[in-house]
Amino acid sequence: MKLTGAQIILESLIQQDATLIFGYPGGAILPTYDALWDYRDRIKHVLVRHEENAALAADSYYRATGKVGVCMATSGPGATNLVTGLANAMMDSSAIVAITGQVSSALVGSDAFQETDVTGVTLPVTKHNYLVTEVEDIASTMAEAFFVARSGRPGPVLVDICKDAQQKTCEYVPVTSVQLRGYMAIKPQARQDAPRMLAQAAQLISQAQRPVILAGQGIKHGNAHEEFRAFVDKSGIPVTTTLLGIGVLDENHPQNLRMMGMHGEAYVNQAIAGADLLIALGMRFDDRVTGNLKTYARNAKVIHFDIDPAEIDKNVPADVGVVGSVKDLLPPLTELIEKRSYPEWFKQINLWRKDTKERDVLGSKLPEGMLLAPHVIRAIWEATGGNITVCTDVGQHQMWETQYFQHTRRNQLITSGGLGTMGFALPAAIGAKFGRPTDEVWAIAGDGGFQMSIPELATVVQEGLNIKIAVVNNSFLGMVRQWQELMHEKRYSSTQMWSPDFVKLAQAYGICGMRATTQAEAHDIIARAREHDGPVLMEFRVESETNVFPMIQPGKSLDEMTRRQPAALGGGMDEVK
Amino acid sequence: MLIDHAAARLNPTKHTLVVLVENKPGVLNRVASLFRRRNFNIDSLAVGTTDDPAVSRMTIVVDTSKTSAALVERNLFKVINVIDVQDLTGVPSIARELALIKVRVGDTVKRGEIKQVADMFQSRVVDVARDAVIVEVTGEETKVDSILQVLRDYGILEVVRTGRIAMTRG
């Protein structure tokens, strides 16, 4: 059957079970949009208001469903607008396929209208990319793109397709298998080495007195929650997660200490600093997790599992580094280890935990009704019973979310980790809502990040998406201000931020807008927002100059945290001087 | 930048990686971009075809005092178009470099001397002009370095070196 290149693109999407596109049309991709008209009952296209948000929504859709997200844009500015979203997916290993139109093959290299070297521009922020100039290459390239995106360590793949290739026709034969000459998700050598390495790992585990499991997002990518839970239960070892690892294990699980790192609770970092063995599973020792590498967990041996061999020994040298999927590697390791418990170790951790609890800002005496961002997060958690998908932006509210929202459901937090992309929350909520249509989806953003993605309110309305949007407004770029306060003598260079009237803004978009300035009002509008059948924009006016504690300042060690005073000593919002 | 090939030869921190890649447009760019992005230090990179027209071969010399060869190897494997990577360090192998050296000729006596030098290094004079000759030398980097040292006295006008290419023995 002869099809146009454009039709082959769409047939390939159907074949890959990727029938949702976040995109924005334009000249060089027009033939594909024209073909899309005939496919509109089989492929859903969501018109975003900026291409960056198409990529971010596709990224979030992948995280919400495990299915490859798809975004589409035209050449030149359309494609370059995708770049931040691609970089976000690259850093957080999200499988997305981006399809971009390119000028006709005869014009490539001529500086034609809306021509950009898109494969050149996106090379370092994609797992792989392709420039397709011939219609005959489209089917195989699309199949390869999906294969590469979802296999091994997932990542974004961009396919740049010349306009004339979209217009020309050729015989379409669905591509059912992909053979790449070099690329392999896991090398045979790694598979061969695994049993020996696992035996060494089991040996280290049997010798440890103060082990800690560092659980990362790789467990989600491998869909290895069950295998992980079995390992955790049998090993009896305390677990801490990375930011992106939140959701791999119920935070009510008695062994789950919750998030580690720069803004992880103090007792978690103290446990890591005091550990004699770290078992790192599908995580990459990001600098936000380790603090100063020279002093990081200095008495600990390290077992490191990762599907990406380049992560082993990159930041923290591993005593036992195992390359592979945690889903494959954990069951045999669970077999090899003894069932154990660590009463002494937990006793120590619980002492640290008690101290942490005493420094909780919500436990300290505050002026009547004073609304802090942690109150807002806690109120959302309480009102919803925690049974929602949360998409956060980047900054203080994001860290408070990890501290004051107890995550009990799998993969319920969708957030931008490695790249720290402001403006993520709203497009992420859009992507997540398409992925989990029956779920209650919340976007939680600061006043800064939200103002980067306001235009997507139109997408929310146009698509009739029931998303609850909480804007935590402290009239500052809060996290940057916090750094300025702690490290730059309160020189608030360009961090004070004016915002529009968010309630009126919501009204302008025809959605429900509400505002809270006290704790009571916060509880009230959250309840009303949940009753409202449709999107709601809530503005929470919170205290301006509050800090996320504890904090490992850049270059400091895990056990050199800047902390708040215990409530008994006055508590309050400031750090211990 | 002056590349100290003699040091490269003697210094165990210089690792030779042989990389087979798919012969497709942009692959060299992907590899070069990887080095730039990861801040890897390399001494030389030589690229050429193989007996399989679909496969190109790169020989890369990595300075492991600055960059872990294992990390370079693992990251190269992640490039989708890379078929195989082999670290030749500690593996019996042959390494060669080719250089063309254009030397000033002051008078006919000098021309004869240069010819003699070339002969001593088992090299060849491949071009003779009124005021210059081109010497072609092949060998390990130390040999190229040595002949350069000697020819410097006559006045070197131009040098091109291919960078190391290597192959395992047997």
Spell out the per-residue pLDDT of chain A, length 577, in tens: 899 999 999 999 999 999 999 999 999 999 999 999 999 999 999 999 999 999 999 999 999 999 999 999 999 999 999 999 999 999 999 999 999 999 999 999 999 999 999 999 999 999 999 999 999 999 999 999 999 999 999 999 999 999 999 999 999 999 999 989 988 878 888 889 999 999 999 999 999 999 999 999 999 999 999 999 999 999 999 999 999 999 999 999 999 999 999 999 999 999 999 999 999 999 999 999 999 999 999 999 999 999 999 999 999 999 999 999 999 999 999 999 999 999 999 999 999 999 999 999 998 888 888 999 999 999 999 999 999 999 999 999 999 999 999 999 999 999 999 999 999 999 999 999 999 999 999 999 999 999 999 999 999 999 999 999 999 999 999 999 999 999 999 999 999 999 999 999 999 999 999 999 999 999 999 999 999 999 999 999 999 999 999 999 999 999 899 998 888 776 666 666 5
Provide the CA A65 distance to its chain's centre, in angstroms: 13
- Our separate counts of H helices and E strands in chain B read 5, 9
Q: What average pLDDT does chain B have? A: 90
* pLDDT, position B5: 46
Is A479 tagged catalytic?
Answer: yes
Tokens of A418: 């490695």
Average pLDDT, stretch B4-19? Answer: 68
Tokens of A178: 């992909």
Tokens of A44: 């859903």
* pLDDT, position B1: 32
* pLDDT, position B12: 66
Q: Can you give the three-state secondary structure of A101-164, one letter per residue?
A: EECCHHHCCCCCCCCCCHHHHHHHHCCEEEEECCHHHHHHHHHHHHHHHHCCCCCEEEEEEEHH
**pLDDT range class, residue B3, cuts 50, 70, 90:** very low
Closest Cβ opposite residue B26 in set A119, A148, A182: A119
For residue B68, list chain A residues with Cβ-Cβ distance below 8 A. Answer: 313
CB contact under 8 A, A313 and B37: no
Q: Which of A129, A183, A312 to mutate to test the interface with B (most CBs of B within 10 A)?
A: A183
A119 to chain B, closest Cα gap in Å: 9
ipTM value of the model?
0.90
The position carrying tokens 């872990």 is B68
The position carrying tokens 């291919």 is B162
Average pLDDT, stretch B96-102? Answer: 97
Q: Which residues contact A319 (CB under 8 A, 6 or more apart)?
A: A200, A204, A301, A302, A303
Is A163 tagged catalytic?
Answer: yes
* pLDDT, position A569: 75
Question: pLDDT > 70: what percent of chain B?
Answer: 93
Torsion angle (degrees, nearest 10) of CA A403, A404, A407, A413:
-70
Question: Rg of chain B's alpha carbons, rounded to an integer?
Answer: 18
Residue B21 clears pLDDT 60, i.e. is over it: yes
Catalytically annotated residue among A11, A51, A227, A485: A51
* pLDDT, position B7: 45
Classify the C-alpha dihedral B75-B77-B81-B86 as positive or negative.
positive
Catalytically annotated residue among A15, A44, A67, A114: A114
- This prediction has a pTM of 0.95
* pLDDT, position A190: 86
* pLDDT, position B6: 47
* pLDDT, position A71: 98
Query: For residues A411 and A92, is the Cβ–Cβ distance under 8 A?
Result: no
* Model confidence pLDDT, tens digit, residues B39-94: 998 889 999 999 999 999 999 999 888 888 899 999 999 999 999 999 998 899 99
CB contact under 8 A, A124 and B82: no
For residue A118, list chain B residues with Cβ-Cβ distance below 8 A. Answer: none
For residue A127, list chain B residues with Cβ-Cβ distance below 8 A. Answer: 80
Is A113 tagged catalytic?
Answer: yes
Query: For residues A242 and A417, is the Cβ–Cβ distance under 8 A?
Result: yes
B80 to chain A, closest Cα gap in Å: 5
CB contact under 8 A, A187 and B37: no
Interface of chain A toward chain B, CB-CB under 8 angstroms: 119-120, 123-124, 127-128, 131, 148, 180-183, 187, 308-310, 312-314
* pLDDT, position A365: 84
